Amino acid sequence: MSQDPAQLVNVTILFADLLDSVRISSVLDFWAYDDLITEYQYYLNSAADEIGSELVAERYVKGDELALFLYDRNQVERNRAILSLPEDDPKRKKLEAENLECENEALFAALRAGIMLKNTWLSAPVNFDRVTSRQLPFDLGIGIHSGLCILSERGDGSTRIEGYTINFAKRIEGYSRMGRVTRLMLSRTATQRLRFVRRRHVVLRQRLGFISHKPRGDDLKGLQPGLELFELKFFHRLQILPPEDKAAVFEQLLRNNPVNIWAYHMSVENYIRQEAGWDKARELALLAYANLPDNEKICYDLSTIAKFKGELEQARYYAERAVELNREWDLPLGLLSEIERMGNADPQKILAYEKRAYALCPDSPQRCWALGEAYLLAGDREAAKEYIGQAYAIHPELQGSGMNRALVEELGIVGKAELDA
């Protein structure tokens, strides 16, 4: 094959397999195990069909393994155009930005795919039967990595993908069984890039939490020691929930096993999204908190529920606990600011919370806007204009509500004619 640098494409790869499949096959008889694998393949293929990203360029299910390859099919042509242009050419910069956007989208699509795959499989009939009979479900291990691969066309028109990235992604999936929370494991490269991806007004590091793992060399089957992997610890309001008719599976799974953080997310967030579900959400959150008191996401949810109920002291307690447990997470600080506004409304306290939250995530339009409002409340209009203007520049749709539009106009960030346009 000719050495064409344009064929080096950033590919995000997801591998998933049935955890403890060797042990399961030794316990079940041949036909029962065959039925299990048949159901497994059906439900994973169904979930893959629903992922919906155009960037899922390749996929296969063999035995108990599923593989997804996410990349933009047009990247090779863009790479050729990039290589033909000077480094400072605006067209080159635009094409490089398109590549980066597609690579970031592929990473987010892979994360969503991993969550959807676990949801679909954990609520499949075989696992529903196990959970309702108070057995642990058959779980998935998932590994995600992003890196360069060689893309070339075969003679039959199909695409050949080769590279170390594939082998490393498979090793990460193999190590996922060592996970302590969700067993959804990502490489350091994928984690660091994913955390800085922005979706509308949200930077993903505001919505994701990870646990660091440092595998021994033999844990990754011969790969170099000293590598760091990251297990998904929590995800917050990514709008990835099971259908409501499947929610009962996760609630029962949480009641059976209160340290199952995956079941916690799926059941509690399902109730939080329902106006009449707050009491049930609190009941389940307290059950999980009794068993996992050091989980910042559970504390954050309990604070949110208490705030909704008007129980401000309880809300403040749990929000402060979340901050104590994770000093790199901005949302609990924003929640403390909201709680303060509902109570004593001390402008200096609100400003202090928002400054700390902004320092953790300065590229979030949400944080910029909230800090601007805090400065306005404290009487500093110039600082308010600076930060709300920054938020508006990053994500103009933040001024969508009538109140926000009036504030943007009042501070002189844009005129009424531009807003109307």
Residues 267 and 179 occupy one common structural domain: no
Based on the domain organization, do 128 and 276 belong to the same domain?
A: no
Q: Which of 152-166, 191-205, 242-256 has the highest mean pLDDT?
A: 191-205
Please check whether residue 350 lies inside any domain of the structure.
Answer: no
How far from chain centre, in Å, is Cα 43?
22
Question: For the segment 24-76, what is each residue's pLDDT rounded down to a tens digit?
Answer: 888 888 888 888 989 888 888 888 777 766 777 788 888 889 999 999 888 88
For residue 339 the two structure tokens come to 């709680």
* DSSP-assigned states of every residue in 206-272: GTEEEEEE---GGGGTTPPTT--EEEEEEE---S----GGGHHHHHHHHHH-TT-HHHHHHHHHHHH
Q: Mean pLDDT over residues 73-87, rounded?
A: 89
Report the pLDDT value the prediction gives residue 393, as an integer from 0 to 100: 87
55 CB-side CA count, 13 A = 24
**With 90 as the cut, is the pLDDT of residue 413 above it?**
no
For residue 417, pLDDT over 50 is answered with no
Measured CA to CA, the distance from residue 287 to residue 364 in angstroms comes to 33
- Per the structure, the count of domains in the chain is 4
Amino acid letter at 307? K
Record the tokens describing residue 298, joined without a space.
């559970």
- Taking residue 157's Cβ as centre, other Cβ atoms within 10 Å add up to 6
User: Is the model more confident about 130 or about 306?
Assistant: 306
* pLDDT, tens digit (0-9, with 9 covering 90-100), for 98-110: 999 999 999 999 9
CATH number of the domain encompassing residue 97: 3.30.70.1230
176 shares a domain with 53:
yes
> Is 66 inside any structural domain?
yes
Expressed as residue numbers, the domain containing 381 is: 360-421
Written as six digits, the tokens of 92 are 């080159």
Q: Are residues 162 and 182 in the same domain?
A: yes
**Bridge partners for 41 per DSSP:** none
pLDDT on residue 207: 93
Q: What angle do CA 243, 62, 266 make, to 5 degrees?
A: 20
Same domain for 201 and 304: no
Helix, strand, coil share (%) of the chain residues, nearest 5: 60, 15, 25
Same-domain status, 117 and 234: yes
Residues 6+ apart with CB under 8 A from 285: 264, 268, 298, 301, 302, 305
Same domain membership, residue 222 and residue 138: yes
Q: Is residue 354 part of a domain?
A: no
Q: What angle do CA 307, 289, 207 make, to 5 degrees?
A: 65
What mean pLDDT, rounded, does the chain reach? Answer: 88
Average the pLDDT over 2-12 and give the result: 84
298/287 same-domain check? no
What single string gives the DSSP state of each residue in 30-54? HHHHHHHHHHHHHHHHHHHHHH--T
Average pLDDT (233-254) is: 84
For the segment 113-156, what is each residue's pLDDT rounded down to a tens digit?
Answer: 999 899 888 888 888 888 888 888 899 999 999 999 988 776 66
281 Cβ contact list (under 8 Å, min separation 6): 268, 271, 272, 301, 305
**More confident: 217 or 135:** 135
* pLDDT band at residue 11 under the 50/70/90 scheme: very high
Q: Is the pLDDT at 225 greater than 70, yes or no?
A: no
> Is the domain of 16 the same as that of 84?
yes
Is the pLDDT confidence value at 257 over 60? yes
Distance CA 89, CA 85 (A): 6
133 and 256 both lie in a single domain: no
Q: How confident is the model over 366-371, as a mean pLDDT?
A: 94
Q: State the pLDDT at residue 142.
A: 96
Name the range with the highest mean pLDDT among 76-85, 158-167, 232-241. 76-85
CB 284 within 8 A of CB 268: yes
Residue 254 forms part of a structural domain: yes
The kind and range of the H/E element at 132 are helix 125-132
Residue 300 has pLDDT above 50, yes or no: yes
More confident of the two residues 283 and 217: 283
352 part of a folded domain: no
Task: Label residue 418 by pLDDT band (50, 70, 90).
Answer: low
Report the chain's terminal Cα–Cα distance, integer Å.
53
Q: Which of 168-177, 246-255, 282-291, 404-413 has the lowest mean pLDDT?
A: 404-413
Looking at the structure, tell me whether residues 302 and 389 fall in a common domain. no
Of 205, 238, 271, the one marking the end of a domain is: 238
Residue 387: per-residue pLDDT: 94
Give domain status of residue 67, yes or no: yes
- CA distance linking residue 31 with residue 37, whole number of Å: 10
Determine, yes or no, domain membership for 318.
yes
| Cα gap 59→409, rounded to integer Å | 50
Look at residues 76, 45, 77 and name the one whose alpha carbon lies nearest to residue 60: 45
User: According to the model, what pLDDT value does residue 333 have?
Assistant: 98
- Scan for tokens 């340290």, then name that residue: 259
Residue 25 domain-assigned?
Answer: yes
Structure token digits, residue 33: 């195990």
Same domain, 216 and 321: no
Task: Give 102's contacts (C-beta < 8 A, 6+ positions apart).
Answer: 55, 71, 72, 75
User: If you average pLDDT over residues 149-173, what whole number do you get?
Assistant: 83
Cα distance between residue 80 and residue 73, in whole Å: 13
Q: Which position has the token pair 């646990």?
A: 211
